[in-house]
Structure 1
Amino acid sequence: MADSTNIIFEDRFTVDTVDKDGQRFDRVSRITATSHHHHLSLTLDIASELYPLQASEAFTLAIAKSLNPDEDALADNGGGDGDGEQQPRRVRREAWRNGDEGLAADYEYVMYGKIYKFDDSATGENQTTAYFSFGGLLMALRGSYRHLANVVVGENVYLLMRK
């Protein structure tokens, strides 16, 4: 599904550590992982009872703006057709509200959250870190800004994972 316009980031990762500093919460684990293709590092809090991961295990992680694979077809273009006539506005509804899983059907673990911060002070040339919050479960994705160019602070996103 990497060709979907809703997916703003996708890569394959390998788990480096699970709870390196000890498990602080009963049902939450903090993993660190390294991407296969873009040399990014990931720190992610996951609900370990729902989606357990072990060191050396590989998974695909995607970040999407919507679960609806046809989001661009539903985008509002300002309500007009260019001739001064108003077109009916299309109401955007997430796929899961209609009983359709959308992109979530292709993944095993899904979280909804927000991109809340960028930090360009990381060591190394052209390095940046994007920070996400998924209802208190945090994620930091660090690497070249080129691979994180579509990630925009303040945007609501879905995190999708599969092994």
Structure 2
Amino acid sequence: MSRSTATSSAGPTGDAILLSENFSINSIDSQKYDRVSRITGSNPDVKFHLDIAHDLYPMQPGETIELVLASTLKLDGSSDIGEAKQGWRDIDEMPTLADAYEYVCYGKIYRFEEAGVDSIKAYISFGGLLLYLEGSAKKLTTLKHEYVYLLVKKV
């Protein structure tokens, strides 16, 4: 899948975008928690499970989303990790990558597993809301143990 138009000429430079994929939402499980749903989606290369605050960002099976993992929200690609730990919404008053997305979280990649010959599993926590990715090592090799932003929008 290609990178988002928000990350093209006006987007972050360098290696700021770690993953940018479009996914079809396959199912939504809202039965375990009052305000959190587990979204399951896939594309030909990667599948995912994402815990999401459904009252803030409702989704439906069959919708397509763009899911991006980025190391910074700054459009010039410079690091904002020190600032982000204080609250990513207060980074500065300049435009950021978050302006092009509808749902943004900040979290940490905390575990990797091999899932076969050319497949990787990655686990990311956004303050207790979890993201599980499984897919092609080619697609997921840019991920490493680090802090990342999750950016989501419907396409």
Match of 2:97 in 1: 103
Paired with 1:101 and 1:69, the residues of 2 have a C-alpha distance of 7
Give the number of aligned pairs: 140
Cα deviation, residue 39, structure 1: 1.7
Percent of counterpart pairs with the same letter?
Answer: 40
1:47 is aligned to 2:49: no
Q: TM-score, normalised by structure 1?
A: 0.78
Match of 2:150 in 1: 159
Query: What is the RMSD of the two structures over their aligned residues, measured on CA atoms?
Result: 2.1
Match of 2:34 in 1: 26
Paired with 2:27 and 2:113, the residues of 1 have a C-alpha distance of 23
Give 1:14's match in structure 2, choosing from 6, 24, 31: 24
Unpaired stretches in structure 2, ≥5 consecutive residues: 1-5
Cα deviation, residue 29, structure 1: 0.1
Cα deviation, residue 34, structure 1: 0.5
User: Secondary structure in 1 aligned to 2:91?
Assistant: helix
Structure showing greater Rg: 1
The answer to whether the 8 Å contact 1:109/1:162 transfers is: yes
The structure richer in strand per residue is 2
Letter matched to residue 29 of structure 1 = S
Paired with 2:54 and 2:95, the residues of 1 have a C-alpha distance of 22
User: Secondary structure in 1 aligned to 2:42?
Assistant: strand
User: Secondary structure in 2 aligned to 1:30?
Assistant: strand
Cα deviation, residue 125, structure 1: 2.7
Deviations 1:109-144 (A, max 9, x none): 000000000010x2x431110100000000101001
User: Secondary structure in 2 aligned to 1:152?
Assistant: coil
User: Secondary structure in 1 aligned to 2:99?
Assistant: helix
Match of 2:127 in 1: 135
Q: Using a 3 Å threshold, how does the CA distance of structure 1 residues 135 and 101 change in structure 2: closer, same or farther?
A: farther
Moved over 4 A (4+): 92-95
Paired with 1:104 and 1:134, the residues of 2 have a C-alpha distance of 16
User: Secondary structure in 2 aligned to 1:12?
Assistant: strand
Give 1:117's match in structure 2, choosing from 108, 111, 116: 111
